[in-house]
């Protein structure tokens, strides 16, 4: 059964070779790139990937839908450029698509935060549907935190995807800005509104949930770092939502300028 790997990229030259090498067992590799300027496209093509480069950025969900539309395999494996498939997981994937019991499979994800693998804080096992029959799955249209939508219950694989989403503080801050902006816009478009008090309360709640209720303290200082980062990203999302709310309200007010 033919397997397609789909990836979306932007300036992933430091990741794309290792990512493609760990999915070399697939039959094809589809990359939808968003204007990379660091050699990502050239590296990917040199390794045999098909690269599509649309001129716009519609958000994570729609961009992954473009990659899915280009895939030809009966089965699809969706990975991010900063994720790695271990040999054990690769073997497990090939085994289940050779004799499938489900139309899709959720895979646990083990994430690394600035050099620390996080096993609590709600970060692990973090099952996500990434392997599915092309005819039975689609991506949600969300600007951020998109997901694969399937019609039947998913099976579960045992070996995790390894995620190096936050290798250092610089990458974390860049993603915080991007994800909080997209999250605020998505929330605003869904009719949600915010104020400063709500932003602060959501941030405090996010910290408590991550560090205490989801046992982030068991990861030691790494768990504390994650809890603080979670609170920070939550605050910025709701703070930006507040700014969007206030800007929209200001546009509705009648002009106070003298005629």
**Record: fold of 3-165:** Spore Coat Polysaccharide Biosynthesis Protein SpsA; Chain A (3.90.550)
Task: Check pLDDT > 60 for residue 111.
Answer: yes
Task: Check pLDDT > 50 for residue 258.
Answer: no
- Give the pLDDT confidence score for residue 248 in this predicted structure: 86
Query: With contact defined as beta carbons under 8 Å apart, do 120 and 214 qualify?
Result: yes
pLDDT tens across 78-90, in order? 999 999 999 999 9
Higher pLDDT, 174 or 1: 174
Tell me the percentage of the chain whose pLDDT exceeds 70.
97
Question: Of 52, 7, 55, 56, whose CA–CA distance to 29 is shortest?
Answer: 7
Q: Which helix (H) or strand (E) holds 105?
A: strand 104-107
- Give the pLDDT confidence score for residue 252 in this predicted structure: 76
Task: Check pLDDT > 80 for residue 187.
Answer: yes
For residues 178-188, average pLDDT: 95
Dist. CA 62–CA 142, nearest whole Å: 7
- Give the pLDDT confidence score for residue 103 in this predicted structure: 97
Dist. CA 207–CA 217, nearest whole Å: 11
Q: Residue 177: which pLDDT band, with cuts at 50, 70 and 90?
A: very high
- Give the pLDDT confidence score for residue 259 in this predicted structure: 41
Ranges of CATH 3.90.550.10 domains, the chain = 3-165
pLDDT tens across 45-98, in order? 999 999 999 999 999 999 999 999 999 999 999 999 999 999 999 999 999 999
Higher pLDDT, 215 or 255: 215
pLDDT tens across 215-243, in order? 999 999 999 999 999 999 999 999 999 99
Q: Residue 251: which pLDDT band, with cuts at 50, 70 and 90?
A: confident
Question: Of 89, 99, 78, 69, whose CA–CA distance to 1 is shortest?
Answer: 99
- Give the pLDDT confidence score for residue 257 in this predicted structure: 45
């Amino acid at each position: 059964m033919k397997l397609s790997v789909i990836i979306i990229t932007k300036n992933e030259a430091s990741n794309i070779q290792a990512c493609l090498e760990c999915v070399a067992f697939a039959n094809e590799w589809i990359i939808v790139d968003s204007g990379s300027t660091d050699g990502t496209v050239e590296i990917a093509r040199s390794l045999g990937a098909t690269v599509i480069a649309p001129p716009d950025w519609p958000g994570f969900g729609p961009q992954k839908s473009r990659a899915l539309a280009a895939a030809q395999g009966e089965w699809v494996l969706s990975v991010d450029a900063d994720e790695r498939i271990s040999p054990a997981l690769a073997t497990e994937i090939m085994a289940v698509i050779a004799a499938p019991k489900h139309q899709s499979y959720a895979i646990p994800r083990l994430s690394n935060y600035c050099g620390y693998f996080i096993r609590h804080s709600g970060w692990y096992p973090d099952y996500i549907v990434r392997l599915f029959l092309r005819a039975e799955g689609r991506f949600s249209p969300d600007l951020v935190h998109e997901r694969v939508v399937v019609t039947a219950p998913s099976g579960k694989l045992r070996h995790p995807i390894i995620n190096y989403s936050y290798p250092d503080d610089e990458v974390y801050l860049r993603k915080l800005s991007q994800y909080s902006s997209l999250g605020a816009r998505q929330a605003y478009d869904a009719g949600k509104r915010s104020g400063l008090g709500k932003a602060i309360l959501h941030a405090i709640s996010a910290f408590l949930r991550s560090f205490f209720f989801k046992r982030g303290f068991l990861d030691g200082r790494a768990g504390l770092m994650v809890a603080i980062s979670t609170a920070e990203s939550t605050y910025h999302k709701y703070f930006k939502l507040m700014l969007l709310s206030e800007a929209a309200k200001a546009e509705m007010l009648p002009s106070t300028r003298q005629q």
